[in-house]
Amino acid sequence: MKSHSRGAAALLPCLLALSGCAIHIGDHDAFDAPEYQRVTGSELAKVVAANRGLTLGMPRDEALGRFPAALTSLRSTARQDDLEVEEWLVRAVDRRTPAIFERWLYFANGRLVEVSDERISYRDGDGLRQWRAFIGS
């Protein structure tokens, strides 16, 4: 029975990678910082499923509400003219495998405008102009 559990745990990173998310494989000790919440394999699978349900334009509370609050953190905010931008990070590490889920969510005036595997520099003029056009400001 135990070997089946290990086999399933070994497959989890592969399955998560197929989902289109950034799944990092690494040393758990490097991720003991408080911003990394340890989760079970099934909880990590639920986070990946929640990620798939994100759609650009959805309200911030709806998008963030798809994930457990302990996995989300506001990383930065900016305001330029009529545009208020928030940068959120969703991050979790599997307790048993070296799989890590990380997703950056960007909101402009309360609407989801960007989802990224990596942190992006959004403060340049081009990014903000595109987001402003997307939400119709």
The residues spanned by each domain of the chain are 2-135
| Contact predicate 135/109, CB 8 Å | yes
Measured CA to CA, the distance from residue 113 to residue 103 in angstroms comes to 13
Give the percent of the chain with pLDDT over 70.
72
Q: To the nearest 5 percent, what fractions of the chain are helix, strand and coil?
A: 40, 35, 30
Q: Which three-class secondary structure state does DSSP give residue 112?
A: strand
Q: pTM to 2 decimals?
A: 0.74
pLDDT exceeds cutoff 80 at 49: yes
Pick the CATH number of 2-135 from 1.10.357.10, 3.40.980.10, 3.30.1450.10, 3.10.110.10: 3.30.1450.10
Q: What is the per-residue pLDDT for 42?
A: 87
Q: Which two tokens stand for residue 63?
A: 């998008």
Average confidence (pLDDT) over 51-69? 96
The values of phi and psi at residue 30, to 5°, are -75, -10
Measured CA to CA, the distance from residue 49 to residue 43 in angstroms comes to 10
Least confident range from 12-21, 79-88, 126-135: namely 12-21
pLDDT exceeds cutoff 80 at 63: yes
Measured CA to CA, the distance from residue 63 to residue 53 in angstroms comes to 9
The values of phi and psi at residue 10, to 5°, are -70, -30
Q: What is the per-residue pLDDT for 29?
A: 43
Average confidence (pLDDT) over 97-116? 93
Average pLDDT, the chain: 79
